Structure 1
Amino acid sequence: PSVWSDKRPAELALLLIAAIATGFLIFGGLPPLSSERYPIAFLSFPVLVWAAFRFGPREAATVALLISVIAVWGTLNGFGPYALRTPNESLLVLQAFMAVAAVTSLALAAAALDRRRTQTRLLALEQQSRLVAEQTARVREEFLSIATHELRTPVTSLSGYAQLAQRALAAGQNDRLGPALKSIVRQSGRLSTLITQLLDAAHVERRQLEIEPSPTDVSALTTDAIDAIRLGERGRHRWDLRIDPGIHANVDPLRWEQLLMNLLDNAIKYSPAGRSITVRLRRDGNGPVTLEVADDGIGIAADQVPHVFDRFYRAHERQGLGGLGLGLYIAREVVERHGGRIEVASVEGKGTTFTVTLPATRATALVSDLAAPDGSAPVAADGAQPRRQILVVDDEPEVVALVQEVLRESGYVVITAKNGEEALAVAARQRPDLIVLDKLMPVMDGTSFVRSYRQGTRDPAPIVAFCAARDAEECGRSIGAVAYIAKPFDIDDLDRIVRSHLSD
């Protein structure tokens, strides 16, 4: 910035006075220094350096010009260190000196100006970084507040309904158990969804969201997901399903189901009871796969539509409708990681339509080594269910107790181990018919157990992987499991998968 408009006029005036005084002191004929031609031209450098460092190139050039004018006048009149025998010689030497002085001062001024500009840029970056940090802190605090509220709600409900169930049992009022247990199941599902969203949001932020596309029957997967949703919402809405059969595409089945669940949850949440929810799945020939989820709900204001896919954004926060603001953020990431796009169209008060388009791919026949088949349980010749022995390996006592209770209720003999090393000893003594295996355990993890167990056993039992939902399929594939059960799990799925994979 120019110093002529700066707030230092007094210093600038003092600089000009010093430059004029220095010029006359060296070249003005003042006795004895100038008149006796003492070699004191170096006295001009302090003023030039002052102008260069404190002001800038323009001011340094102005001071050099001012001193040069005085020097030329004085030298032609026989004053100063460069007044030689002839005017030509005098001016030639003077010009050489002033050129060196001017170039030196201008170089210093340029360096000083560059330094000031760098400092200004660094200061601007620091201020910007501070603003970003403050904004991030505000977003984090807001998110933690929202997350705490949203997580506390299902936890409070779970605790409350569990206490009601305890009271009903103590009072022998079994008719009150059903509603309480239904609420517990519903709230535990909600809690699981919130935790999954938090984990997925962290993976998206670090660009670590895992997508494993495989040839998938998208029609069947979509139908199954909608059936599960409709069962949970108990007929509160009218459903219009237009799903073309036999559509196959290369998608990650878990992520496709997650995407669909997020869109359907939104449609249900923001549509009053009795309104319609429409789901369309179509594919024209070998073209792109198109999924549409539409509702007749409250819609989204036009100024909020561009932000619905932003992280933590909640378009209906003022209406008191809860949520973490992560569902659509994750949905967009899932779609984009599949190479597709997701769009939204909404009219406030009339409803919203989300459209997902996946690029055309050549999908082969559906192959899923880890998908749990729907086969029925093996039956003995007399029609009775044989009592098979199942080894459950997990380091969480509560989880083991739950699995044990479910499987014993189904007529199986259940033995347990809390890590891979203990499981090897148990399997050697009792030879289980099926192993339900966790991956992350102390002492010896699931992967190490599988390696040692199969190396040391002539006829190893089939293994069902029992892992967290986000990596259950990969966990099962890595250990060669016959199926996988994703935590948190549905007890009906656990029973069905175990029953299906027990050998005759």
Structure 2
Amino acid sequence: MLGLVVVYLLAGALGQKVVSVGNISPAWPPAGVALAALVVLGMSRWPGVFVGASLMAFLSGASAAAALGVGVGNTLAAVLGLGLLRWVGFDKGLERIRDVVALCAGAGALCLGVSAVVGTASLVLGGRVPWSSLAAGLRVWWVGDLMGVLVVAPPLMLFRRWAWPRRGGEAVVLASLTTVLGGAIFFMPELPHSAAHAATFLLFPMSAWAALRFGPRGAAAATLCISAASIVGTARGHGPFATDDLTQDLLVLQLFIATNAVTGLLLAAASAERQRAIGQLQLLGTTVRSVHEGVLIAEVRGGGALRTVFANQALCSLLGYRLEELLGQDPCALYGAQGPEFRQRTRQSLLAGEPVFAEVQLTRKEGDLVWSEVLLSPVRATGEDTTHFVATHRDISATKELQARLVAAERVAAVGTLAAGVGHEINNPLAYLVLNLEAAERGLTQGGGTGMREAMSSVRGALEGAERIRLIVRDLQVFSRQENQDRGLVDLNALVPPAVRIISHALRGRARLVEEFGPVPRVSGSEARLGQVLLNLLVNAMQAIPEGNPSLNEVRVRTSTDASGRARVDVVDSGAGIPAHVLPRIFEAFYTTKSSGEGTGLGLAICQQIVRAHGGELEVRSEPGRGSVFSVLLPPARVQAPSPPRPLPRVSPPQQPPGARRGRVLVVDDEPRLAQSMRLLLEPFHDVVTTTRGGEALALVDAGHRFDVILCDLQMPETDGAAVYQHLCAHAPDQAARVVFISGGAYTPESRAFIDSVPLRVLEKPVRPDVLMGTVDAALAAGAEPSGADASPAAAAGGARH
């Protein structure tokens, strides 16, 4: 603090050299010393400013009271200036434009007005300055303090620690040129006034050079040198600003110094900000290029067109493209695997400035697809319209594969929970089937009209039992199909009964099961996955109700259409309900409140994932002691095809329609008894050849045999149905068009892809007799007469039947 007083007095002695109005100087370095001291050393140094200012005023001839007033004014200006700078977040490095503005306009121009008013008033009241010079004194004091802040404060804040500049040689050249030029302008009396005035403008390039090449330190040093030379020269009567009125000369000179100082500091701050921006851009560019996530930046052009302007290496590797192949292209082409509705919605959201987060399939250069989690973020570079958007891609193919396995595992777990009930549901009609067949056997053994009538009645009962088993198996197939099936139109009213039939026996000892159907639009999705959601929710409702009081509890499945037109399925139970602290976590994976062996904690999480993948929502409402309501809300499909009526099961003996012609049928099935059964069913109406191997069937065709219909099992050892069809396409195209596949429904991904690629009929086992007869008759009606001579049916049948 003592050192601050000494420095203040030395700076004041320099300012006293150019006193113009009473005891007031138009160039007052102590103002800059005071502000810089508080900024650098802290607010606690204010007594040093007060002592230095009071002592300087007293030594200059002011009375003790006036000197104290001057000390209060100067100290208050410095304290207010520091408070303002701290409030705006000032950085004494002066590398931001806002800091330069705060120093010059805030702490300088604004706060120094307090010092001018208090100090001038103190000198006037103390008799040091006459009342007639009050206005002039205020102006000169304010200008002098401002010059001190602009010229002296920056070097004191910036040069606390001396460091030789990196461009030392250039700095020496710049300092030499500035010194020579300043000396020539302000210390050469023989230089004409007009020439000196014109040469003054050459000092601005020197300040700009210092600011742009050496930053705020260079600008502050150049301003200090130019100001010192110009003030001393003008005070001695030299230079372009010297006239007969020294006070006026110095005031005009201060305008030149202020302009030079502010320009240099602003240029230096702008250059520093630009260098930081360039550094940040380089750092950002390096970071974006090296991150593992794929990053794409697209420009929004006129008319909503999009053009790729940047893609990092991770995205290029993910898609298999080179950077040059992506630049300039429409990024929406990468989302070709999505539907046009998704692409249109995404484009509209981006142009509206809304971010988009989704899981999408991207098309690689080789044509295959890869799953990606994408975040599309709009950028408003101009502050108004969206000019760019940034797409961040994360490869989630492995995650998708794991999710698919978890979904399959949970499906198996759900069906496994109901295994005992499903077995009971199959055993009942199976026992009914066996008993009726035994009764039919007895009736046929007895013979006679009565025995035949009893046998026919028992056969009809057996057919009804077999039909019931077929329905149960079909219901199970809904929940066991592969996940890569194509999405189609799903009727939720038709999806409820299979799930209800599967769970009905297991629920029988816990609650009543009520079905309530309402009008509901069809939805676009996977029947297997939506069936899994419904089955999981029913299992969840069943496990929420204890056994023992089925008459007091209820599980209700209700379908309807909500107010917004979405399809709605509610699963309502009267169980114990869900506690409030558990409700927010029920959709978390592996979170469960069930005892060991009752749940994995995946069911509801997977249900939510499936529903969201279909664009819907899964909601829950529950109160402890009052049960729960799980609601599945799905958007309606864009096209609502009418639901075809479901045919009732037919158990009457099959008959050939009138006018149907007799044809040649080849049955290929690796199950001998099934092939024999189909032969026995068809043989009264058609000539039938059977074989249990695909190779034998192909040998028959290659030998010249021709058939009107080929009933071929899809999955067989050695030569399967796909191999048979491909051989026929290559060697007997006319026969390939007559194939009808029969499958047990356990499709592999390869067989599913094959079935989807060929326009052939597929019958699901077990095939009802009327369906098999109708399919053969329809194939005969659609096909032409078999061409060419053929071996006799008897000979063919004799060589191939088993």
Q: TM-score, normalised by structure 2?
A: 0.37
1:385 counterpart residue number: none
Pair 1:352-2:628 in alignment: yes
Structure-2 change in CA distance of 1:353 and 1:449 (3 Å) = farther
| Structure 2: stretches of 5+ with no match in the other structure | 1-88, 95-155, 186-201, 243-251, 294-391, 418-472, 657-664, 680-689, 778-802
Residues 354-393 of structure 1 deviation map (CA, whole Å, 9 limit, x = unaligned): 123456899664238xx89844486589xxxxxx86325x
1:77 counterpart residue number: 232
Structure-2 change in CA distance of 1:278 and 1:194 (3 Å) = closer
1:237 counterpart residue number: 510
Q: Once structures 1 and 2 are overlaid, which stretch shifts more, 86-95 or 456-465?
A: 86-95
Which of 250, 255, 263 is residue 537 of structure 2 equivalent to?
263
CA–CA distance in structure 2, aligned partners of residues 35 and 475 of structure 1: 91
**Aligned partners of 2:478 and 2:527 also within 8 Å:** no
1:291 counterpart residue number: 569
Structure-2 change in CA distance of 1:451 and 1:464 (3 Å) = farther
2:558 counterpart residue number: 281
Q: Per-residue deviation at 1:226?
A: 0.8
1:184 counterpart residue number: none
1:212 counterpart residue number: 488
2:271 counterpart residue number: 108
CA–CA distance in structure 2, aligned partners of residues 114 and 220 of structure 1: 62
1:407 counterpart residue number: 674
**Aligned partners of 2:570 and 2:631 also within 8 Å:** yes
Q: Per-residue deviation at 1:429?
A: 6.9
SS at the partner of 2:542?
A: helix
| Structure 1: stretches of 5+ with no match in the other structure | 7-11, 53-59, 158-187, 204-208, 382-387, 393-400, 486-493
Q: TM-score, normalised by structure 1?
A: 0.54
Residues 306-334 of structure 1 deviation map (CA, whole Å, 9 limit, x = unaligned): 45456x35343786643372655445644
CA–CA distance in structure 1, aligned partners of residues 699 and 184 of structure 2: 103
Residues 169-205 of structure 1 deviation map (CA, whole Å, 9 limit, x = unaligned): xxxxxxxxxxxxxxxxxxx99x999986xx75xx7xx
AA at the equivalent of 1:86: P
AA at the equivalent of 1:500: V
Structure-2 change in CA distance of 1:332 and 1:406 (3 Å) = farther
AA at the equivalent of 2:231: L
CA–CA distance in structure 2, aligned partners of residues 28 and 380 of structure 1: 114
Structure-2 change in CA distance of 1:348 and 1:320 (3 Å) = farther
Pair 1:460-2:738 in alignment: yes
**Aligned partners of 1:434 and 1:461 also within 8 Å:** yes
1:55 counterpart residue number: none
Pair 1:87-2:360 in alignment: no
**Aligned partners of 2:578 and 2:628 also within 8 Å:** yes
AA at the equivalent of 1:227: R
**Aligned partners of 2:592 and 2:601 also within 8 Å:** no
AA at the equivalent of 1:366: S
Structure-2 change in CA distance of 1:434 and 1:141 (3 Å) = closer
AA at the equivalent of 2:570: E
Structure-2 change in CA distance of 1:347 and 1:301 (3 Å) = same
**Aligned partners of 2:592 and 2:600 also within 8 Å:** no
CA–CA distance in structure 1, aligned partners of residues 630 and 701 of structure 2: 51
CA–CA distance in structure 1, aligned partners of residues 212 and 286 of structure 2: 25
1:250 counterpart residue number: 522
Q: Per-residue deviation at 1:452?
A: 6.5
CA–CA distance in structure 2, aligned partners of residues 142 and 461 of structure 1: 37
AA at the equivalent of 2:668: L
Which of 502, 509, 512 is residue 228 of structure 1 equivalent to?
502
Q: Per-residue deviation at 1:123?
A: 9.8
Q: Per-residue deviation at 1:71?
A: 1.8
CA–CA distance in structure 2, aligned partners of residues 423 and 15 of structure 1: 102
Correspondence 1:297-312 to 2 at 5 A? 297=575, 299-309=577-587, 312=589
SS at the partner of 2:531?
A: helix
1:366 counterpart residue number: 643
Q: Once structures 1 and 2 are overlaid, which stretch shifts more, 35-44 or 473-482?
A: 35-44
**Higher RCO by CA contacts (8 Å cutoff, separation 6 or greater):** 1
CA–CA distance in structure 1, aligned partners of residues 737 and 720 of structure 2: 26
Q: Per-residue deviation at 1:430?
A: 7.4
Correspondence 1:122-201 to 2 at 5 A? 200=483
Pair 1:68-2:223 in alignment: yes
SS at the partner of 2:558?
A: strand
**Aligned partners of 2:740 and 2:762 also within 8 Å:** no
Structure-2 change in CA distance of 1:420 and 1:236 (3 Å) = farther
Q: Per-residue deviation at 1:241?
A: 0.9
Pair 1:495-2:766 in alignment: yes
Q: Per-residue deviation at 1:73?
A: 2.0
**Aligned partners of 2:554 and 2:574 also within 8 Å:** yes
Pair 1:323-2:600 in alignment: yes
Structure-2 change in CA distance of 1:346 and 1:467 (3 Å) = same
AA at the equivalent of 2:271: L
CA–CA distance in structure 2, aligned partners of residues 100 and 358 of structure 1: 65
Q: Per-residue deviation at 1:289?
A: 5.1
Structure-2 change in CA distance of 1:19 and 1:235 (3 Å) = same
Which of 712, 718, 721 is residue 435 of structure 1 equivalent to?
712
Residues 2-40 of structure 1 deviation map (CA, whole Å, 9 limit, x = unaligned): 75599xxxxx97745559999x999999xx979976999
CA–CA distance in structure 2, aligned partners of residues 501 and 96 of structure 1: 100
**Aligned partners of 1:248 and 1:363 also within 8 Å:** no
Residues 24-80 of structure 1 deviation map (CA, whole Å, 9 limit, x = unaligned): 999999xx979976999999789746874xxxxxxx3x763464144212233249x
CA–CA distance in structure 2, aligned partners of residues 221 and 140 of structure 1: 26
SS at the partner of 1:279?
A: strand
Structure-2 change in CA distance of 1:27 and 1:147 (3 Å) = closer
Q: Per-residue deviation at 1:240?
A: 2.5
CA–CA distance in structure 1, aligned partners of residues 264 and 508 of structure 2: 91
Structure-2 change in CA distance of 1:342 and 1:123 (3 Å) = same
Correspondence 1:357-396 to 2 at 5 A? 357=633, 365-367=642-644, 374-376=649-651, 379=654, 390-392=667-669
**Aligned partners of 2:619 and 2:630 also within 8 Å:** yes
**Aligned partners of 1:342 and 1:355 also within 8 Å:** yes
**Aligned partners of 2:620 and 2:631 also within 8 Å:** yes
SS at the partner of 2:522?
A: strand
How many residues are treated as equivalent by the alignment? 412
Residues 333-361 of structure 1 deviation map (CA, whole Å, 9 limit, x = unaligned): 44773x75432112356532112345689
**Aligned partners of 1:292 and 1:354 also within 8 Å:** yes
**Aligned partners of 2:725 and 2:736 also within 8 Å:** no
Higher Cα Rg, which structure: 2
CA–CA distance in structure 2, aligned partners of residues 458 and 495 of structure 1: 24
**Aligned partners of 2:568 and 2:634 also within 8 Å:** yes
CA–CA distance in structure 2, aligned partners of residues 270 and 427 of structure 1: 65
**Aligned partners of 2:611 and 2:617 also within 8 Å:** no
Structure-2 change in CA distance of 1:34 and 1:458 (3 Å) = closer
Alignment root-mean-square deviation, CA: 6.6
